[in-house]
A and B are shown apart, each in its own frame.
Chain A
């Protein structure tokens, strides 16, 4: 008899939930948001793919022209300048799940060209044409649905599971029936969770089936799904805990909304701003001013040291090239400490934010989702650091070619260092563990309370 009854309680609760207008409204908001998020994700992915394709085809054409020129042969005076015409593509790897969590990607540079005169601070300077007015409004991606919308919908669906019965007086009869509230809560939880989780899972499945075949996409999808699940389970554990307290439905709703607002809306913005104030980065303006001062000083010194005029074209070009090498080298050296300081402080600041995120689980989940998707601030910083290292390496290699007597050949071009994208970050295991630990803790507390539940 019991075996028959258990599924039927679940079936009853599920049927009644689907019949309620509330569930319909929740489903409508959720589905609308998911469709919007998928459309936005698809557009972002397409734009990022197009931008990278355009950059790499443009650079490939430049490379082909350079090689054709070398093959045709050219006057020595022109051949001298070949190293300065080399432009190597620096293309940031496409985050494998950028269409689920945009993260920092809309603000991050995707492609640049490195050459003899490149500097780490100006490599990506041209990638800022987006409409700031739209950037400011923020985006709506699947991560936003999971982190912001879904928890509120869970609160709407779940805040009254027990308190509403307490308010109506039905809780006395419910308890008197003696089946245990735990079972009832389970029967009420599963359909509500399914109502919110199933559309999200379907969206993820759709991303998996319809998306481009990017390296690491499947792994990213799995981790993203796990983090999303853990984050929503944490919210549900909180909903259960509030259900197990002696409160009215209105008080439960108020408490849950206040907690949501504190942890999702207020703390992330507040903590981010405070960390920004407490750990400021070296001024970008200072880098600009320093580079310019170094350029003027190095140019003046060179001109002072090489006052004698050279008559023939070849020698004068060699001279100009040597001057460029000297000046760019000195400028790079002058800003290197600020850039290093910038990178170190940026990493320190990120570390602080990561630690503070332990206090605000939605923030932690947001970072972890972006990390799983490969679009977090850390990934962007890694690409920029790798690009800076590549620029230094490439400049050194080109400088060797520029200063040797023989002209550059296609074989030299082939031997130049290429930009290698940094390895993807380790999956956000720590964040997942922390979210699950918090969820288990809340769930345990809720179970303890539920067993002691009294009707009034």
Chain B
């Protein structure tokens, strides 16, 4: 199966600062890639380039074979995006938020399908009619995922989806993410939580100073290696 998400020599320069330096990666359907790195390592820039929120200085970001910079609208139509804090309209109910964002993507919401997706995400059934302003962070993340699934996204980009969740909610979301990937969706997750990354990822890419410095199979990672990596990671954060 070919890559649904691909970066080819993806480079982004802000003035003199090099935010991303020749990134190459590919994510296939059903695969979950976690990008791990400190703040400023280039994770968010990578997501922004795939979303078409910023144009690459060199190289290309491809979604489903489409070059994002050439046709951002077509690329976005195939993408789902879950921000670190999923910003919803607080006075509208979850269902209305869902209907609105689906409507933006040109999708009409079929209630039966919506309820099936929400059930799969273990979203509390009675909460969907409550104003989104009352939702917990975990519920927001799930609704964000539901929005992505509703438009049948081939790829979902997640920006720090687990930060700030309590352990129970994080465990829950990890399970949901695994099931989502198992459903044939490619996931690209940016995070700086190594331990959670190991739980959810099929591969982990480590970024530093805008470069992808290592690509690791989490299954092959021993506890000692994980700790070593963690320390390297933290050392860079402190630097």
Structural contact, A179 and B53, CB atoms closer than 8 A: no
Question: How far apart sit A9 and B96, CA to CA, in the bound complex (Å)?
Answer: 11
Structural contact, A178 and B75, CB atoms closer than 8 A: yes
Question: How far apart sit A176 and B147, CA to CA, in the bound complex (Å)?
Answer: 11
In-complex Cβ contact of B79 among A1, A2, A178 (8 A) = A178
Structural contact, B73 and A178, CB atoms closer than 8 A: yes
Q: Is B195 an interface residue (CB 8 A)?
A: no
Question: How far apart sit A412 and B201, CA to CA, in the bound complex (Å)?
Answer: 109
Structural contact, B92 and A16, CB atoms closer than 8 A: yes
Structural contact, B53 and A172, CB atoms closer than 8 A: yes
Question: How far apart sit A2 and B107, CA to CA, in the bound complex (Å)?
Answer: 7
Residues of B within 8 Å of A180, CB to CB, are 73
Question: How far apart sit A177 and B73, CA to CA, in the bound complex (Å)?
Answer: 9
Report the minimum CB–CB distance from B38 to chain A (whole Å).
Answer: 21
Residues of A within 8 Å of B144, CB to CB, are 173
Residues of B within 8 Å of A454, CB to CB, are 53-54
Report the minimum CB–CB distance from A50 to chain B (whole Å).
Answer: 52
Q: Is B216 an interface residue (CB 8 A)?
A: no
Using A4-B108, A173-B147, A174-B104 as known contacts, say yes or no to A455 and B79 having CB atoms under 8 A apart. no
Structural contact, B103 and A9, CB atoms closer than 8 A: yes
Residues of B within 8 Å of A4, CB to CB, are 108
What 0/1 pattern do residues 161 to 184 of A give for CB contact below 8 A with B? 000010011101111111110011
Question: How far apart sit A137 and B87, CA to CA, in the bound complex (Å)?
Answer: 47
Residues of B within 8 Å of A178, CB to CB, are 72-79, 104-105
Q: Is A51 an interface residue (CB 8 A)?
A: no
| Cβ < 8 Å to B, chain A residues 1-38 | 1-2, 4-6, 8-9, 12, 16, 20
The residue on B at minimum CB distance from A180 is B73
Structural contact, B86 and A173, CB atoms closer than 8 A: yes
Question: How far apart sit A8 and B89, CA to CA, in the bound complex (Å)?
Answer: 17
Q: Is B94 an interface residue (CB 8 A)?
A: no
In-complex Cβ contact of A177 among B86, B87, B105, B108 (8 A) = B105
Structural contact, A5 and B103, CB atoms closer than 8 A: yes
In-complex Cβ contact of A176 among B76, B88, B96 (8 A) = B76
Structural contact, A179 and B89, CB atoms closer than 8 A: no
Q: Is B137 an interface residue (CB 8 A)?
A: no
Q: Which has the most chain B C-beta neighbours within 10 Å: A172, A173, A175, A176?
A: A176
Using A5-B107, A170-B88 as known contacts, say yes or no to A177 and B99 having CB atoms under 8 A apart. no
Question: How far apart sit A12 and B109, CA to CA, in the bound complex (Å)?
Answer: 12
Question: How far apart sit A6 and B85, CA to CA, in the bound complex (Å)?
Answer: 28
In-complex Cβ contact of A168 among B78, B79, B87, B100 (8 A) = B87
Structural contact, B100 and A173, CB atoms closer than 8 A: no
Question: How far apart sit A183 and B77, CA to CA, in the bound complex (Å)?
Answer: 14
Structural contact, B106 and A179, CB atoms closer than 8 A: yes
What 0/1 pattern do residues 91 to 127 of B give for CB contact below 8 A with A? 1100010011111111110000000000000000000
Residues of B within 8 Å of A176, CB to CB, are 51, 76, 79-81, 157
In-complex Cβ contact of A9 among B53, B74, B104 (8 A) = B104
Question: How far apart sit A174 and B83, CA to CA, in the bound complex (Å)?
Answer: 11
The residue on A at minimum CB distance from B100 is A12
Q: Is B154 an interface residue (CB 8 A)?
A: no
Q: Is B43 an interface residue (CB 8 A)?
A: no
Question: How far apart sit A175 and B103, CA to CA, in the bound complex (Å)?
Answer: 12
- Give the number of residue pairs across the A-B interface with Cβ within 8 Å: 86
Residues of B within 8 Å of A179, CB to CB, are 73, 77, 103-106
Structural contact, B87 and A172, CB atoms closer than 8 A: yes
Structural contact, B106 and A172, CB atoms closer than 8 A: no
The residue on A at minimum CB distance from B50 is A176
The residue on A at minimum CB distance from B75 is A178
Q: Is B151 an interface residue (CB 8 A)?
A: yes
What 0/1 pattern do residues 42 to 55 of B give for CB contact below 8 A with A? 00000000011110
Structural contact, B108 and A8, CB atoms closer than 8 A: yes
The residue on B at minimum CB distance from A456 is B53
Question: How far apart sit A4 and B102, CA to CA, in the bound complex (Å)?
Answer: 12
The residue on B at minimum CB distance from A181 is B104
The residue on A at minimum CB distance from B74 is A178
| Cβ < 8 Å to A, chain B residues 35-77 | 51-54, 72-77
Report the minimum CB–CB distance from A199 to chain B (whole Å).
Answer: 24
Report the minimum CB–CB distance from B62 to chain A (whole Å).
Answer: 15
The residue on B at minimum CB distance from A10 is B103
Question: How far apart sit A23 and B92, CA to CA, in the bound complex (Å)?
Answer: 16
Report the minimum CB–CB distance from A1 to chain B (whole Å).
Answer: 6
Structural contact, A173 and B108, CB atoms closer than 8 A: no
Question: How far apart sit A203 and B104, CA to CA, in the bound complex (Å)?
Answer: 35
Residues of B within 8 Å of A1, CB to CB, are 106-108
The residue on A at minimum CB distance from B157 is A176
Structural contact, B106 and A173, CB atoms closer than 8 A: no
| Cβ < 8 Å to B, chain A residues 262-278 | none
| Cβ < 8 Å to B, chain A residues 224-250 | none
A-B contact pairs, 18 of them (CB 8 A): A2-B106, A5-B102, A5-B107, A6-B106, A9-B100, A12-B100, A20-B91, A170-B87, A172-B51, A172-B83, A173-B81, A175-B52, A176-B51, A176-B80, A177-B104, A179-B104, A454-B53, A455-B53
Q: Which 7 A-B pairs have the closest CB atoms?
A: A178-B76, A176-B81, A169-B87, A177-B104, A179-B104, A170-B87, A9-B103
12 further A-B contacts with Cβ under 8 Å, apart from A8-B103, A177-B151, are A8-B108, A12-B96, A16-B96, A165-B87, A168-B87, A168-B89, A173-B86, A173-B144, A174-B101, A176-B76, A177-B104, A455-B53
